[in-house]
Amino acid sequence: MLESDFFKRSRPDYRRLETFGFRNNNGTFEYSEVLPDEQFRAEFSVTANGEVRGRVIDLETGDEYLPLRFENQIGSFSGNVREMYLEFLGKIEGACFLPVHFIFDQSNRVEARIDRECNARAEFPWDKYPGNGTFKCSENGKWFAALLTVEFGKLTGGAGTTRPHDEDETVEVINLKADPDQIPALVKRPGVYPAYHMNKTHWISVLLDDTLTDEQVFRLIRESYRLASEGKGSKVKSTGAWMIPSNPKIYDVDAGFRGGRGEIEWHQHNDIKPGDEVYIYSSAPNSAILYRCEVVASDLHYHGMFKESKGYERSMRIRLIEKYPPDKYPLSFIKAHGGSVVRSARSMPQELYNAIKKAR
């Protein structure tokens, strides 16, 4: 459909719709405008769930003008009407819609969570496939995920999906690294397939149509990140130390340690194990590593210690070993020794780990 294709990489901002002049008709926002030639009227609507519809009405007959829906009418009368209608849609998109990288809602939710928790922005390396994005580990620059568009019929060897799709329907998948020993079991789960267009021994494709919940998808993403960051050439494999972020506006770490007699619970993103060292990075206004801790227990049930606890299922218990002043390991020190701003749990670069040990 012309309208759904036109707006497939954008989402409505309902406040902007009303400002633009859309009328709210029981939750459906409607707008119409006479096109420049004054022979046709364009009508457009957006439903509460983001579905877009449109049509062009011939003012003389009162009927919908259907020939504009044929792309090969360029230069003809209907082609000119089509161009006017596309300009009308473009005006609405620019004023009332927000751009997104991917077509489907789960894809965009997953992208936002990867950015937030893995500190990895989508990159789009292929001009021929502008909707295909990749994500890299910050430690070594290796891919841990690729979000791709594909015809559903090209996904083979899996257990299928709980949602119906036509063979030639465009869907989005995220390719993830997985333990080769686990892949035979994983592809028996609905929504998981042998990797499309990648090595099926080490990768899987996960269909982003909400067959799997966001949390189920993200468990697979965490494992993929771990495998990619600890692969050949990684800077961090043998440190046994981790960096985790804290936001003083959300959680008072000092109060937590006092209340827990030197121990606190923390949500767990990675395969952190008892005995590992954990360094807590405090964001602005500190922007520095302030705490060195030891993991005393991991893979616990998460009790929601933070305000933003939704979506976490695992936690660890850490014991305070040492607290540092903000000027001892500031962000400038971290960057000078191979690190960066800490926005998600990650292995500590070997160079930074050695520098901290030397400066203690």
Q: What is the pLDDT of residues 185-225, one digit of tens each?
A: 999 999 999 999 899 999 999 999 999 999 999 999 999 99
Q: What is the pLDDT of residue 199?
A: 92
Rounded to 5 degrees, φ, ψ at 321 are: -105, -40
What pLDDT score was predicted for residue 305? 52
**CA end-to-end distance (rounded Å), the chain:** 64
Amino acid 211: pLDDT: 94
Burial class (CB in 10 A: 0-12, 13-18, 19+), 268: buried
Is pLDDT of 232 > 60? no
Question: How far is CA 358 from each of CA 139, 286, 355, rounded to the nearest angstrom?
Answer: 21, 22, 5
Rounded to an integer, the average pLDDT of 218-241 is 73
56-70, 227-241, 248-262: least confidently modelled range: 227-241
> Which residue type sits at 242?
W
Identity of residue 116: R
Chain segment 121-144, per-residue pLDDT in tens: 888 888 888 889 999 887 778 899
Q: What is the pLDDT of residues 245-291, one digit of tens each?
A: 998 888 899 999 988 789 998 887 667 888 889 999 999 899 999 99
Which of 45-49, 277-281, 303-307, 324-328 has the least mean pLDDT? 303-307
Q: Could you tell me what percent of the chain has a pLDDT over 90?
A: 62
Question: What is the per-residue pLDDT for 187?
Answer: 94
DSSP characters over 191-248:
TEEEPSSS-TTTEEEEE-SSSS-HHHHHHHHHHHHHHHHTSTT-SSTT--EEEEEE-T
Mean pLDDT for the chain overall: 88
pTM comes to: 0.59
Cα 204 to Cα 284: distance, rounded to the nearest angstrom = 38
171 has a pLDDT exceeding 60: yes
Handedness of CA 62, 66, 71, 76 (dihedral sign): negative
